[in-house]
Structure 1
């Protein structure tokens, strides 16, 4: 089975590869940078879902893969503050479009304020931690959970939800 991944982000790629390798014996992966067709910083669940779905559809169109996967991280405002959100989509050649969401954590006020001013989370986190490439490694979730849940682990959960729904749907026909 060929899986097309709509990103080259290390944390997202790790999550997808690990998820599929646990459930499918012969699998190959192709990673391509794809457009999400949403803001660089998705600012709602809806926009983050659209980004994930667009990445999955775009990478499937660009390849001869059996499945396209898109993962998207974003933020969403609530009555209790701004929260990190993450969504994924799996699209296959049979026209199935599957969506799943993952963990949420509240963001510190100083990070939320920067986002509200139009900044993007990745560069904000690099600045906040005095590191570079946070989005490629532990991510904001890793920083704010003291490393207990990292970005790849967070997205791995989303990938498991996608695979599980896809397998269920396949077995229903």
Structure 2
């Protein structure tokens, strides 16, 4: 099973691989850097749009370079103001070779209001790096590793989001 993912980020790749390996055998995953065509810090609807754009650009890259795959996947994290609070939300979009698509969301964590303006202007990773005096927050562990005191990683968030999207592919025709 060949999967192309629209990123070179090891955390996102690791999460996708863990999710796919729960349901499929002989999973190979290749990360390819493609554009999301949204802001560096996606807000609200830009989050899903960024993931879909990455899949679109990934498929275009694959076609131009004659690369075949069973699934084309992408992940975008961003901030959203839902339920009266700001949250960081991990969103994935998966499309199979038959162009059937599915969306999945990972666990969302709160962002205090006092940081929102700065997050919108720069990026959440910048704000977290400043707070935790670390430059490694874009690494596979991500900022959630610091916030959760080592209990949750970006890989975990990615895995959960991919598992949710995969429900549309692992249940035959009953969940499409």
Give the TM-score of the pair, scaled to structure 1: 0.89
CA contact (8 A) 1:6 1:34 kept: yes
Gaps (5+ residues) in structure 2?
Answer: 63-67
Report how many residues are paired: 171
The residue number in structure 2 matching 1:57 is: 56
Distance 1:112-1:143 versus aligned 2 partners, 3 A rule: farther
- Aligned Cα RMSD in Å? 2.0
Using the size of structure 2 for normalisation, the TM-score is: 0.87
Q: Does 1:166 align with 2:169?
A: yes
Give the drift of 1:105.
Answer: 1.5
Distance apart, 1:172 and its partner CA: 7.1
Shift of 1:169: 4.4
- Structure 1 CA distance for aligned equivalents of residues 118 and 169 of structure 2: 37
- Superposed CA deviations along residues 11-46 of structure 1, whole A, max 9, x for unmatched, are 1011011111222112222110011111111011x1
CA deviation after TM superposition for structure 1 residue 144, in Å: 2.1
The 5-angstrom pairing of residues 2-151 of structure 1 reads 2-44=2-44, 46-63=45-62, 64-78=68-82, 80-116=84-120, 118-151=121-154
Greater RCO (Cα-Cα under 8 Å, separation 6 or more):
2
- Please, which runs of 5 or more residues in structure 1 have no aligned partner? none
